[in-house]
Amino acid sequence: ASMGRTVVELFYDVISPYSWLGFEVLCRYRHIWNIELRFRPAFLGGIMQQTGNKPPAMLPKRGEYLLKDMKRMAKYYQVPLHTSGNDFQRILGTNSLAAMRFITAIDMTNPQYLEPLSREFWMRFWSKHEDISQPESILAAARQAGISTELSQKALEMTSSPPVKDRLKETTAEAIKYGAFGMPAIVAYCDGEPQLFFGSDRLELLGSIIGE
């Protein structure tokens, strides 16, 4: 790590609203804390399936609470995440696999676009309540992120290729290896030991452990 910076990895999926909150806060703090922030796009569906986890909103009371919580967190962190009563149906009815493969393809070919592209997908799904699963909506997000038609077309073709599929599978498996059971999964390397923080509400604890 450069200049004794603490490596902090963010495993995320753009379908996860709390991943967006964690992403934006870490993006702000990477200039304040002595950290090297690494984005690790992974597949939430794979993590849920392999760990036997269930969507938290399956418990109605918890679902009610989560909508209020997301609203408060969005306001507090000034992230334009707009909740609506049918958010959980939208999540359950949307497969983020194509989007996460596309993001992975961009990460492998043009990583400088990884941050704006990921943000654009969250904006699309959580701010504008638009689709992120169809090729045309994926290309629209890429366009908004400033990616040329040529590059995004190439990345879209790569989404069905073994290297991209394998890379996403490997990243997802790595998150599980660190103990992840949901998103976001934040891994900080303290004294060479990886420490897992789940969710976007443990960031002050993360700061404290890395000496910030």
- Looking at the domain assignment, is residue 186 inside a domain? yes
Please report whether residue 12 resides in a domain: yes
Number of domains in the chain: 1
Render pLDDT for 146-167 as a digit per residue (tens, 0 to 9). Answer: 999 999 999 999 999 999 999 9
Q: Which residues belong to the active site?
A: 16
**Considering the chain, what percentage of its residues have pLDDT values greater than 70?**
99
User: Over the stretch 34-59, which tens digit does the pLDDT of each residue have?
Assistant: 999 999 999 999 999 999 998 888 89
- Determine the Cα angle at 77 with ends 211 and 191, to 5°: 20
Residue 162 resides in a domain: yes
Supply φ then ψ for residue 39, to 5 degrees: -90, 130
The domain in which residue 42 lies consists of: 6-210
Predicted TM-score (pTM) of this structure: 0.95
For residues 114 and 155, the answer to whether their CB atoms sit within 8 Å is no
- Position 2 scores a pLDDT of 52
> Does the residue 1 lie in any domain?
no
CATH of the domain at 206: 3.40.30.10
